[in-house]
Amino acid sequence: MNIAIVCYPTFGGSGVLATELGKALADKGHNIHFITYQQPVRLSGFKANVFYHEVRVPTYPLFDFPPYETALASTMVDVISNNDIELLHVHYAIPHASAAYMAKQILAKEGKRIPVITTLHGTDITLVGRDKTYRPVVTFSMMESDVLTAVSQNLKEETYRNFDIKKDIEVIHNFVDVKRFNKKPVDAFKKLLAPKGEKIIVHASNFRKVKRVEDVINTFLLINKEIPATLVLIGDGPERPFAESLCRDCVTNHQIKFLGKQEQMEDILPLADLFLLTSEYESFGLAALEAMAAEVPVISTNAGGLPEININGYSGYMSNVGDVDDMCKNALAILKDKPTHDLFKANALAQAKKFDISNIVPMYEKLYQGLL
């Protein structure tokens, strides 16, 4: 099949998932055309059947807000017409689903039918999309998509709760390539992060308010009172300066490391003893799944779709949002006892395998075939 994929090219989970999906489909012989404003971060290395089309948004003195959606829709039309594209799969509704609708209408006038699949990822529904400045357009473009998918059952329910949508939403969970993340940790790297054998606790996110990074830091400080630990924070975003200032004020500042944005998560995650995800909401929590694939137990909140991934008392533990005492208690229950830690590690891996790329990608292929 010739498939066009539209996504955000940045470190966010929706862009990561879309890029990994495109690469996996390319490995199966499909021709994949990515349409984004920058090369997606996970799109490295050459594959003869992967193409990248950049959306250029010309500026003009009149434009206080350059019209990205118009440029995107025009690029979609161009790429679809000139590369025999059979399907358009957009990830994250805003503004991709409405641009897809526009492209579809333009192509229809030229006699070309192009089915559109919109995959909902989370904040496009729960935070941004339901704001009244976007809601009518998001609702309309979801209704006009040929197929709607959501990355968790919870997100499907949130979509029905927040929007007047009268069509079926298919749940296709996110996936991980377990083989890629299940690597042996490099001892030299472990020594650099934790020279005295401290427990390595990792958090990775885009440092937005919804992640509650201050809860990560406070949970770590409580854990560190009981057992020596190092906190490794990966990613960047608006809350990072606040998070850094919180750490500067504490005595254990040298045990907290901000690594910034990292592309090679499969090299870092295997170094971790525990992964912390304290979000107020998470439609899925792809970062937690990648940690589990690297055999790392997860201490998370029980918000949104997280209970669909992290099984309480098995692959990790879950607590109510903001309950850092409980998160600390759960973390210690795993970390203090080696046989328990080993058991949770094995369970985390077993749980990640349920979401392995080999189980999920065929679901998208089946969906595409049905549409064609």
Query: Footprint of ligand GMT on this chain (CB under 6 A)?
Result: 12-15, 17, 92, 121-123, 151, 174, 206, 208, 210, 281-286
Q: Specify the DSSP class assigned to residue 202.
A: E
Instruction: Please check whether residue 19 is in contact with residue 45, taking contact to mean a CB–CB distance below 8 angstroms.
Output: no
Give min distance, CB of 13 to ligand GMT, in A: 3
Give min distance, CB of 72 to ligand GMT, in A: 17
Closest CA to 19 of 48, 45, 56: 45
Residues 6+ apart with CB under 8 A from 193: 200, 230, 232, 257, 271
Q: Which is nearer to ligand GMT, 259 or 343 (CB)?
A: 259
Give min distance, CB of 315 to ligand GMT, in A: 16
Calculate the CA 69 to chain-centre distance: 22
Give min distance, CB of 208 to ligand GMT, in A: 6
Calculate the CA 190 to chain-centre distance: 25
Q: How many Cα atoms sit within 13 Å of 118 on the Cβ side?
A: 30
Give min distance, CB of 123 to ligand GMT, in A: 5
Alpha carbon distance 351, 344 (integer Å): 10
Q: Which is nearer to ligand GMT, 253 or 320 (CB)?
A: 320
Instruction: Please check whether residue 239 is in contact with residue 212, taking contact to mean a CB–CB distance below 8 angstroms.
Output: no
Give min distance, CB of 119 to ligand GMT, in A: 8
Calculate the CA 89 to chain-centre distance: 16
Q: Which is nearer to ligand GMT, 190 or 240 (CB)?
A: 240
Alpha carbon distance 75, 54 (integer Å): 8
Give min distance, CB of 187 to ligand GMT, in A: 31
> Quick check: helix, strand or coil at residue 204?
strand
Q: Which is nearer to ligand GMT, 80 or 360 (CB)?
A: 360
Q: Which is nearer to ligand GMT, 230 or 351 (CB)?
A: 351
Calculate the CA 171 to chain-centre distance: 15
Q: Which is nearer to ligand GMT, 72 or 328 (CB)?
A: 72
CB count in 10 Å sphere of residue 210 = 19
Q: Which is nearer to ligand GMT, 159 or 230 (CB)?
A: 159
Q: Which is nearer to ligand GMT, 320 or 340 (CB)?
A: 320
Beta strands in 278-341 (DSSP E): 298-301, 316-319
SS3 content of the chain, % helix, strand, coil (to 5): 45, 15, 35
Give min distance, CB of 282 to ligand GMT, in A: 4
